[in-house]
Amino acid sequence: MGRLDGQAALVTGGASGLGRAIVERFVAEGAHVAVLDKSAARLDELVAQLDARVVGIRGDVRSLADNETAVARCVEAFGKLDCAIGNAGVWDYSMPLVDLPADAIDAAFDELFHVNVKGYLLLAKACAPALVRSRGALLFTISNAGFYPAGGGPLYTATKHAAVGLVRQLAYELAPYVRVNGVAPGAIHTDLRGPRALGLADRSIASLEMGKHADQWLPLGRMPTPQEYAGAYLFFATRGDAQPATGSVLNFDGGIGVRGFAAPSGGRDLADWFGR
């Protein structure tokens, strides 16, 4: 028997990368899963692979209506919602403050915060009634950037710190009916993209090939796979061992937090940049 037999889940950004690994793991553990994603082609591929265990909903996490539709489709198809996972996100490719184009800051800020923070807030708003009824779980994908510098630029890092605050506030507001937690993965080989406002919408994090040098900067000596990260979400979604957990964020980062970073600061060349 699977650990999620009889449960129904909703995953945003679940048609590729980490989200897809979560969906596949939940299905393997007996769950039915609704997936909200912007890519119709990837949704079709996922549904074809997993058949009746999955319902695909094309939409935008920045839209409350789309989040509400996803929750309604999940409840219609599976009778309830036990676990909702906010996972869709964009990365700023660690663009530092000095490189941010002045004429793009407003749009880039809005895009990153609307996807990475408002998307989570809207999911919570849409799914709260169903999760209260099921005494369920709400999970958010955070990042090592939610705790440490150098996991992104100031825009991305700010969104992930905000998401940590959202976990804690919603855990307080929704207790004792809904458990709210986060998982903070480290580096990962996926198709994560950047904001369109910075010209990075067509760039995939996979193009950086970070895994080739993981032995030089990760204590584990390699990059974990999306499938290996998925187990943490399974833990928080279960109705057994994770019952005491709410308002917590699991650092699940391959050891980045204990290693630190090689550079003593990120501003070593600023005097030359701005002129002494």
Residues classed as catalytic: 156
Q: At 203, which amino acid appears?
A: R
Residue 198 tokens, joined: 């910075």
Nearest alpha-carbon partner for 14 in 2, 3, 26, 29:
26
Question: 34 forms bridges with which residues in the sheet?
Answer: 10, 55
Q: At 6, which amino acid appears?
A: G
Q: Which residue blocks in 135-255 are alpha helix, DSSP H?
A: 154-174, 214-217, 226-237
Count the residues in the chain.
Answer: 276
Nearest alpha-carbon partner for 226 in 10, 44, 24, 5:
24
Q: Between β-strands 54-58 and 137-141, what pairing exists: parallel, antiparallel or unpaired?
A: unpaired
Asked whether the beta carbons of 229 and 251 are under 8 A apart, the reply is no
Nearest alpha-carbon partner for 210 in 236, 196, 192:
192
Q: DSSP string covering 91-126, please?
A: --TT--GGGS-GGGHHHHHHHHHIIIIIHHHHHHHH
Cα gap 31→83, rounded to integer Å: 10
Nearest alpha-carbon partner for 27 in 11, 38, 42:
11
